[in-house]
Structure 1
Amino acid sequence: SCQYFTVSDRRFANIVSFLHNKNAVKIWTGKIGHLKSGTFHEDSNITQAFIGTDGMQTVADCLASNANVQRPVWISEVFWEEGSRKWKVDRFGFYDYLIIAHNGKCADKLMSSAGAPEVHSLLRVRFNDVLNPRDQRMHLCSLWVLLIAFETPLKLCFEGAHIDHDDISWISNNTAKYRNAREPVAGKKDSTECWTIISTKAFGKNFKVPQENIPPSTEKVVTERLLTAFKAATGRKEVPRVCYTRVQLWGAAVPINVLGSGADCVFDCRHHLGVCGDWLSYPCIQGAAISGLSLAEKIQQHSAGQSATSTRLHPTFTAATTSAIGSFPTDKSLIFTPKS
């Protein structure tokens, strides 16, 4: 669901440099901008856009290679044991610290009876397309994502665009975006062009269904509506024949508010409990990374006896400045120059 990310923080720049050195990310050199009724304007604010070399999975795989990650593991119950001052994690035993790197209904439910009510109050969630400032809960929007393949190229002048339309907010040409990710099969010429189409927040709300069990009728209507909007946005009455579609609801998509604690993470030193995520800083890949780094520093300081201070645990949220698919902060002084 992450279409690209930008860099405006030196700590995150170091991570991106490491990922690039490991061939896990690359600079997206295609044109990115804004589109309305067929008229495209390139975004002059973007300094550099980064993508996973072969999708965002390459980023996760690269980072996981430096850790002992066990998967698949399903955790349905956690509980703070006051006597031992440790966390009982399902059937997997006791742990010194617990980190919640998640949000939405699952995180809310997991922590509802875990024995840390202040942190649970921060994880309560409301799903909506607009922010209600009187409701001091995390607000998440829902977005529909359509993957679509055309038999022949559309020959548009851009590779990614934020859209001014009631139904869609973003489109990108995946074939151009990842043109060097996979080698073509010898002797086989493929003219197929694949695109990602992402809905608006309002569209996501209006057509929301259980994302694990999408009714065929909803799948059909959503696909048709998003394709119609794609034509309108690109100024095309007709498009090449569609040879593949796959639509999925991104239920807990992008935060539309962030916790106003003044910290990039949540840390409850009494319960050895931390939370990290983009909804604690700003809704983007960089925000999530900085939140994780901040929490790691809190835990390191606490475990070393250097700090016994919690972050502010009161649920006070503020509006996030973001597009439908997230925020893209930039800093013109941070330009990444790959080593030759």
Structure 2
Amino acid sequence: MSTNKVAVLGSGISGAVCASILGRNGVSVTLFDSARGPGGRMSQRREVTEGGEELFFDHGAPFFTATNNEVLGLVHEWESRGLVAEWKIKFGSFDFISSKFMDIEQEGTTKRYVGVPGMNSICKALCREPGVESKFGTSIGKLEWLEGKNLWSVMGLDGQNLGRFNGVIASDKNIASPRFTSVTGRPPPLDLNFAPELANKLQDIPVHPCFALMLAFPGTLSSIPFKGFSIKNSNILSWAYCDSSKPNRDTTSERWVLHSTKEYAESVIAQAGLKKPSDETLTRVSEELLQEFQRTGLNISQPIFKKAHRWGSAFPATSIARGEKCLWDRKKRLAICGDFCVSPNVEGAIISGAAAASKLTEILSCL
């Protein structure tokens, strides 16, 4: 009996979980991602200071929580494999008007989990599991349903034939979204004319952009009473966290990540456009975010390293498939999954990826 083959597009946590579950169920999975490595918003960034010091930053999702039983089961498994640990710090809140901190923790606060030694460790491990072949640095140019053969044809951006598959799972909403064209100037790889209901749901998913600023300091910022805090009444910053305070991180320097407000990011994008921001734009953003951080009056020294990164559409502002947990075309064995389907966080992405794997596994078992 021939093995069913599935293409998974995107190696963020949703795609990685989906690929892993399919692989465990005997499906042959090929995972494609245009990035150099897995993670998506759970990526870890490697940087080097002018002095040659190597720095690592979780510059996207700083942590995740889990309340869903299926997700908790996966998290406990990842803990047992040493891929995940609890981040045991207290979070606070800083108000720019009063210039004061508040303790916002309550008894029974949901545990915060992080990947070890980086947020991308989970995706890395899942993308290497038996049954999963990962191809990074591979941009998809076209996905085509071959009606007579009941198979999907996947082609690269250069026109190369990347294979034929019994099913496709897209864990990136932009793969079939009009937004893909506005960013790349090319039509999206997946043409959903055959599924107008799915196309309509993906038409205009509102997203919150964000700029992240990665900072490294030679010593501890001892004037800050919390290693993670939200920021109120700032037009520029939404929150800050000490990345080097996480379990199993290097503590040679103290590393912080700042996240901008969506309003600030939208104003920059309105001026600079959706295309990849220029070095000049990122330098200006770096300066403005750092200055706002220092404006807290917390005796924040000059960093030995600073660099900004733009997350253009990483934070969906709505959920489009809460019931089904993913978008699904049974006839063509196509699923579209991600946090935008369930809830705009890591747990929502995991739930959606698992749901897509379940639906495809069920239909493939009947072939």
Q: After TM superposition, is the score higher than 0.5?
A: yes
Give the structure 2 partner of residue 204 of structure 1: 265
Instruction: State the distance in 2 between where 1:93 and 1:69 align.
Output: 13
2:72 aligned with 1:13: yes
Give the structure 2 partner of residue 120 of structure 1: 199
Q: TM-score, normalised by structure 1?
A: 0.77
2:135 aligned with 1:71: yes
Instruction: State the distance in 2 between where 1:244 and 1:211 align.
Output: 26
Give the structure 1 partner of residue 181 of structure 2: none
Q: TM-score, normalised by structure 2?
A: 0.72
Aligned mate of 1:215, from 270, 275, 278: 278
CA contact 2:215–2:305 (8 Å) conserved in 1: yes
2:324 aligned with 1:256: no
Instruction: State the distance in 2 between where 1:106 and 1:57 align.
Output: 25
2:90 aligned with 1:31: yes
CA contact 1:104–1:252 (8 Å) conserved in 2: no
CA contact 1:79–1:114 (8 Å) conserved in 2: no
Instruction: State the distance in 2 between where 1:260 and 1:273 align.
Output: 15
Instruction: State the distance in 2 between where 1:262 and 1:175 align.
Output: 38
Aligned mate of 2:230, from 152, 162, 185: 162
For 2:242, the aligned partner's letter is N
For residue 323 of structure 2, give the secondary structure of its aligned residue in structure 1: coil
How far did 1:210 drift? 5.5
How far did 1:277 drift? 0.4
For 2:220, the aligned partner's letter is P
How far did 1:107 drift? 5.0
1:308-335 CA distances to partner (integer Å, 9 max, x unpaired)?
xxxxxxxxxxxxxxxxxxxxxxxxxxxx
For residue 309 of structure 2, give the secondary structure of its aligned residue in structure 1: strand
CA contact 1:100–1:107 (8 Å) conserved in 2: no
Aligned mate of 2:153, from 88, 104, 108: 88
Which moves more between the two structures, 274-283 or 112-121?
112-121
1:31-77 CA distances to partner (integer Å, 9 max, x unpaired)?
12322233132332632100111221111112223242222232110
Identity of aligned residues (%): 24
1:127-206 matches, within 5 Å, as 137-155=204-222, 156-164=224-232, 165-178=234-247, 180-182=248-250, 190=252, 192-206=253-267
Q: Return 5+ residue gaps in structure 2 as ranges.
A: 1-59, 156-160, 179-187
For 1:70, the aligned partner's letter is S
Pair 1:241–1:261, CA change in 2 (3 A): closer
Question: Larger % of strand: which?
Answer: 2
Give the structure 2 partner of residue 131 of structure 1: none
Give the structure 2 partner of residue 274 of structure 1: 335
How far did 1:202 drift? 0.5
Aligned mate of 2:173, from 96, 103, 106: 103
CA contact 1:22–1:62 (8 Å) conserved in 2: no
Instruction: State the distance in 1 between where 2:241 and 2:121 align.
Output: 19
